[in-house]
Chains A and B, each alone.
Chain A
Amino acid sequence: MRKTHQRRVIIGFLAAPVLLYTVFVASPYVQAFYIALTDWRGLSAEIGLIGLGNFTELFGDPVFWQALRNNLLLLVTLPIVTIGVGLFLAFMLNAAGGPRSGEIRGVRGAKFYRVVYFFPYVLSIAIIGVLWKNIYNPINGLLNGALRAVGLEEVQPSWLGDERLAFWAVLAVLVWNGIGFYVVLFTAGIKAIPASLLEAAVLDGASRTQVFFRITIPLIWENIRTAAVYLGIAALDAFAVVQIMTGGGPNDSTQVGSFYLYQNAFSYGRFGYASAMGVVLFVVTLALSAFTLRATRKERIEF
């Protein structure tokens, strides 16, 4: 008796979230898979099934390949740069200061810097996009103004207008935006390491750099892994910054999958084609995240 009653309660509790999940998450997926097989343009009531036509077109679309290449390049560079700089800053803020003989602590004013680094993270991404678009403005932007101020009138790059520079300019904004969060994440990891471990390493003869690479990094590996996954997701998206700052240009040099998808759906009215792109991106994302989690798996460390 008790068993059936229990089961009823459990099913009751499970049913609600499953229902919500099915309606709002799973069914749109299925719908998208279906639309990907059609030539729907978003408004018409009749939908024509065209099989895998969208996919064949997609694989022959140079812009899509360019977008995918950019995403992959972001996927490699964004985590490496952000984690690298984030780790460096976190180390400076927590373990690089103090006298040579004496306790290990952060550099002077570490608390202040921590707040400053975190600042961009609390800004809305739209504001960041607009802000940097103006900073990068070749004529009255802050960056070129600064170059002029130090006497570099000859060097006035068009940051977002130059095919060779635009991608890196966008990458810099993404790093600037995210860095504060990762500094805080790594700081939390470093703070969780018992002070005596770092002291033991120092007594064993490790320099601050050696402590960092041989003790700190292995011990906060879990945090780094988490950061890599978050950043990977951000790299596969990057929609907002691209949309606001470059619109994918110039000449598709900053085009990314998510933005090209949006353009196809809402600018060109090709919902079927956009859905097919969504399906491909879904598969790519899934494969990559499975790969990342597997590749970085390590033994859990207990203190």
Chain B
Amino acid sequence: MASIVLSNVDKIYAGGVKAVNGLNLEIKDGEFMVLVGPSGCGKSTALRMIAGLEDISGGEIAIGEKVVNHLPPKDRDIAMVFQNYALYPHMTVAENLAFGLKLRKMPKPEIQKRVNQAAKMLGLEQYLKRKPAALSGGQRQRVAMGRAIVREPQAFLMDEPLSNLDAKLRVSMRASLNQMHERLGVTTVYVTHDQVEAMTLGDRVCVLRDGILQQVDTPQNLFDNPVNLFVAGFMGSPSMNFVTAELVQVDGGAAAAFAGFRLPVPASTFTEKPGLDQYLGRKVILGIRPSDFEDAAAANGHTGAGWARLPVRAEVTEELGSEINVLFLIDAPPVEHKDTVAAKDADEDGEPIPLAGDKSLWTARVNARSHVRPGQQTELVVDTHNLHFFDQGSGLAIGHPANVGR
């Protein structure tokens, strides 16, 4: 096991396209690091550079303190799981598992032992004699995992290993992946474009965009304190609501004014976000997570301090059983920042409704006890402690520790 350190890593393709741009990333020993971002953000390229399948244009990659820039893949002591599994079609499952060990001239009984162990762990024992063509997608996926496990490498690299599975299987495989990592504790780098996978699997998540690192943090921190508009819009489903608001001084405190609403900004927010006070009287981009809304009627308990009321008309409701997504219009033009557009493009379930005029569509995630129906007037409450503020020009989160002084 080992840590993986990327320092100022660049990848420039012929034609001058920079797929990865000055990437600095430290993956600690035993950590599960997820690289996430929209397609074309360079996450797979970064992974393939760690694997040695792609040469490095600039910078340095070290695995376990050893610089591996010019080391061929086989000497890097890593194992990779591919999106299409890449099982050898002419070998049985057992031969597939044993191939890497045989090439490394491991004694036969040891190979046998490891193959059996992995097969048992992954529930593949009865399929050992089969060829990959005779396996289902989930079974092939497990064989691909097994091939990585038997090698007992310093690190696992996984390139969207679950994306060829159907939704249900993906969830269960996600759980077993988590379990497996817990058991083996091997450093893992995992690439995905699915932010739910990223949130559920990663010890830490690294968000990339256009080859540039945006933010690396624990899933919860990414969700609570996104560093910029892009991360804010990309992480979380449904994605964060944005509006251009004016930060105004009112008696007894500050408020964010937009579309005829005034959301009081608690004093604590100003202490948490240093520099926010300088935006008083100016416009900022306000972000509110759908999950920070609640139906006023259904949430009798917390309509107290810090919760602001927002009367709206529900346009569409999506009932998910445990909760309801309420889509409503805000009388303000949608925020057209390059970062929000980029994040939206990446979101596969992007808004299908064409927006009327210059209104923006917001989503609130409320408790299923709420009986909001489409077309109804309803009152929502917002947790004003969790408002997010972004600079209009740079798109950076105001008062985020990483941005202070930038």
Contact = CB atoms under 8 A, between A and B. Distances in A.
Query: Which of B51, B73, B80, B103 counts the most A-chain CB atoms under 10 A from its CB?
Result: B73
A101 B100 contact: no
Contacts of A221: 90
Contacts of A197: 86, 88-89
The 3 A-B residue pairs with the shortest CB-CB distance, nearest first, are: A204-B100, A102-B55, A200-B86
Contacts of B89: 197, 219, 301-303
Nearest to A193: B89
A215 interface: yes
Contact of B82 (A99, A196, A302): A196
A221 B73 CA distance: 27
Nearest to A99: B55
5 contacts: A100-B70, A103-B53, A194-B84, A197-B89, A199-B80
Interface residues of A, number: 27
A205 interface: yes
A218 interface: yes
A205 B74 contact: yes
Given A204-B100, A302-B133, A100 B72 contact: yes
B272 interface: no
A10 to B, nearest CB: 36
B301 to A, nearest CB: 53
B168 interface: no
A201 B91 CA distance: 12
B227 to A, nearest CB: 33
Interface of A: 99-103, 194, 196-197, 199-207, 210, 214-215, 218-219, 221, 299, 301-303
Interface of B: 51-55, 68-74, 78-80, 82-84, 86-90, 99-100, 103-104, 131, 133, 147, 151
Nearest to A215: B88
Contact of B90 (A194, A199, A204, A219): A219
A188 B131 CA distance: 24
A102 B54 contact: yes
Given A200-B82, A203-B74, A301 B90 contact: yes
A301 B74 CA distance: 26
Contacts of B69: 101
Nearest to B151: A204
Contacts of A202: 53, 72-74
Given A196-B86, A199-B53, A204 B133 contact: no
A196 B55 CA distance: 16
A101 B86 contact: no
A99 B83 CA distance: 24
Given A201-B88, A302-B89, A206 B53 contact: no
A39 to B, nearest CB: 56
B300 to A, nearest CB: 56
B128 to A, nearest CB: 17
Nearest to B100: A204
Contacts of B55: 99, 101-103
A219 B90 CA distance: 7
Contacts of A194: 84, 86
A249 B82 CA distance: 59
B88 A101 contact: no
Given A203-B74, A210-B103, A219-B89, A102 B53 contact: yes
Contacts of A218: 90
A205 B104 contact: yes
B329 to A, nearest CB: 46
Contacts of B74: 202-207
A98 to B, nearest CB: 8
Contact of B73 (A203, A214, A215): A203
Contacts of A103: 53-55
A217 to B, nearest CB: 10
Contacts of A196: 82-84, 86
Contact of B70 (A101, A206, A210): A101
Contacts of B88: 197, 200-201, 215
Contacts of A302: 89, 133
Nearest to A104: B53
A299 B147 CA distance: 23
A101 B75 CA distance: 10
Contacts of B103: 204-206, 210
A101 B72 contact: yes
B71 A204 contact: no
Given A101-B71, A196-B84, A301-B89, A204 B147 contact: yes
Given A103-B54, A205-B74, A199 B99 contact: no
Given A99-B55, A101-B73, A204-B99, A199 B104 contact: no
